[in-house]
Amino acid sequence: MRIDKFLWSVRLFKTRKLASDACRVGKVQIDNVVSKAGKDIREGNVIDLRKEGITYTYNVIAIPTSRVGAPRVIDYIEDVTKEEELERRDFIRLTAKLNRQKGTGRPTKKERRDIDEQLRKNQ
């Protein structure tokens, strides 16, 4: 199966076009080699995906025949992303909440709880 179709099938991208575009600009690597959208993927390959400033790493367990539902994604890929990358993702999300645009109003109750929780963790 093509890598762009695989990434779409296991719900790492919302559309196949987005997956193809990510491959075209070099954000997808298979076994540490930058890959094009037409590259075939096999079981046992390691996929590195650069998305929103974070490098996610996945092991391919099996190849689906078509797009799968969200609960079945774990049957096809295993997320082995490094802990530092996940912490960086959380930090980026928190920073986005803390640095609100002028005129966007007050934080929602949920955003306020998230901010307070992160501030407590960092103390």
66 and 92 together in one domain: no
68 and 100 together in one domain: no
62-108: per-residue pLDDT in tens?
A: 999 999 999 999 999 999 999 888 888 888 777 776 776 666 777 78
Could you tell me the residue range of the domain that residue 50 belongs to?
1-81
pTM: 0.74
Number of domains in the chain: 2
Structure tokens at 30: 């298979």
51 and 65 together in one domain: yes
Residue type (1 letter), 32: N
CATH assignment at residue 25? 3.10.290.10
40 and 77 together in one domain: yes
Computed on alpha carbons and rounded to an integer, the radius of gyration of the chain in Å comes to: 17
Structure tokens at 41: 């993927």
CA 64 to chain CA centroid, nearest Å = 19
Maximum Cα–Cα distance for the chain, whole Å?
49
